[in-house]
Structure formats: structure tokens, C-alpha cells
Amino acid sequence: MITTDWMERFLPSARLPTPATQVANLIAHVGDVMAETGEGCFLDDVVDTPLVGAFNRTMFDALLKEVRERGLVTAVGKASVPNPRDVGVLQGTLFGLSLEGWERYEAEKRGKFAGRYGFIAMKFGDAVLDPFVETVVKPAIRDAIGFDLVDLRNVSRAGVIDNILRAQIRDAAFVLVDLTHDNAGAYWEAGYAEGLGKPVIYLCEQSKFDAAKTHFDTNHCTTVMWSAAEPAPFVEALVATARRSLNLFPDMVAAGH
């Protein structure tokens, strides 16, 4: 359901997927069709432009040309297919994936390619946590390391919510997980991200952790404590942990520091 509240949250940060993500979407689409049917995939620039997240048909055609030139997608034949926009049929090219394309497809499925964003798993609707994430956590990540930080509410895509959630975590460069409320969903998302080999950074409100810690499977992991009353120490610790997790100090590491 599209509500006024949803639109007010979505529109200020709405943007199309990056070209790299569009390539991943295109490869996934072709691979999924081939895996389901055993046949080539017919691509229609009107129907498939929004599917991969391209700005318009011209950019979709340029994207398809690029992935063909790189040998990821290849023409596998011609076919008559139902016109997706009208009655009748169209004569079109069927596309498939090369061996390199299938390797990329499998790597994408396993989260081996990462977009330039982080994902945060958390309890929604909390009067303290929600504004803290929006006004402190997300700006800190963006300003310090140049990554957007999204949660599931920022994702405007049709489909089964579980599959969208998996795709967001799979394609993220790293995952933040707030365990302040012992949210079962946040723990599940952390486990899924850990299983994919993603860098996972745990967060918890300081007084909660002091009183009851988090689950014993995570309380020994790196956890950055936060307090809404004193955000500065948290921001410093979070940025340092994120940089270390993403190996954003290559020159220092090379120098032995």
C-alpha cells in the first residue's frame, strides 16, 4: 500500500539503481528465465527498462549492448513471442548467458558482488531508535565513507518482501544490525548476512547492553554502543569500525600501521 507517510519517507532519497546494479539485474533476469524455462530470454525494452532500473529505453538498449560486448549476454536464436504491449506477435532475439555470464549470475546469488550501500536491520517504529538512525547513523556513514545506508522501508520494489530483503542484504557492501530490542528479524538478517560472508557490525543501546547484553551468540562480537543523549562517541566508534571492516585503509595497511 502506498501511503502519504511512505511517500514522504521515500521521495527525498529516491534514486534509480546504479549502472552496476542495473547490469546485475539484467543478468539475473536472463538467468532466472533460462533456469526456469531452459530457453532463451526475450528482452523488450519497454517492459524490461523499469525491471532492471534503467532511466529510459535508450539507456536500457545501451546497457544491453554493453553486456553483450563484454560477453556476458549472448544471442541464442530468434523466436516469435506474444507482443507484451499489444495483440499479435513480435519477431525477436532470444538471449542467454555465456559461461562468464553464468559465473557472474552464480556469484551475484551468493552475494560476491556488493553495491555501494550498507543495509541496516532493526526494529521499526521505536520512538528513540528511528530518529537516531535517520539523523545520526545514516548521515555518519554517508559523510565519513560515502556509502548510503538503507533499511527495508527505503526499498520501493514489487514482490515478496522476504525475497526483496534477501536481495538487499545480498547486494549490500556491509550490514549494520541493531539488537537493542532483541528483535528476532534483526537476528535472522544478521545470520543471513554472516552466512553470505558480509561484514556485519552490531549496534546496541548502551544501557540495554549494560543491563542484559545481547544473545550469547553475538555478545562477544564487535558491538558499537550508542546513546541518543551522546551521539558523538558512537559516531566516532562506528566510523572507525566500518572503515576497518571494509578495509578502507589500504595505504596504512600496506605501510604496516
The count of structural domains within the chain is: 2
143 and 239 part of one domain? yes
Mean pLDDT value across residues 149-155: 79
CATH of the domain at 52: 1.10.10.10
Give the pLDDT band (50/70/90) at residue 66. Answer: very high
96 and 124 part of one domain? no
Mean pLDDT value across residues 169-174: 89
142 and 126 part of one domain? yes
Can you give the pLDDT at residue 112? 67
What percent of the chain has pLDDT above 90?
A: 54
- Asked if the model's pLDDT at residue 98 lies above 80, the reply is yes
C-alpha closest to that of 242 among 108, 131, 147, 113: 147
Among residues 109, 136, 164, the one where a domain terminates is: 109
* Domain annotation covers residue 95: yes
Can you give the pLDDT at residue 8? 82
What's the CA gap between 175 and 241, in Å, rounded?
Answer: 12
**Tens-place pLDDT, residues 227-257:** 999 999 999 999 999 999 888 754 433 344 3
Can you give the pLDDT at residue 152? 79
Can you give the pLDDT at residue 139? 95
20 CB-side CA count, 13 A: 9
What's the CA gap between 83 and 197, in Å, rounded?
Answer: 42
What is the pTM assigned to this prediction?
Answer: 0.64
Give 86 or 255, the one with higher predicted confidence: 86
Give the pLDDT band (50/70/90) at residue 154. Answer: low
* Residue 208 grid cell: 540495554
55 and 170 part of one domain? no
Mean pLDDT value across residues 162-169: 80
Mean residue pLDDT across the chain: 86
Range with the poorest average pLDDT among 127-131, 146-150, 237-241:
146-150
Range with the poorest average pLDDT among 106-110, 115-119, 124-128, 187-191:
106-110
- Asked if the model's pLDDT at residue 115 lies above 60, the reply is yes
CATH of the domain at 221: 3.40.50.450
73 and 51 part of one domain? yes
State whether residue 154 is helix, strand or coil.
helix
Can you give the pLDDT at residue 161? 60
Give 19 or 210, the one with higher predicted confidence: 210
C-alpha closest to that of 244 among 177, 206, 191, 199: 199
Can you give the pLDDT at residue 155? 61
**Tens-place pLDDT, residues 69-78:** 999 999 998 8
Nearest-10 Cα torsion for 153, 150, 33, 80: 80
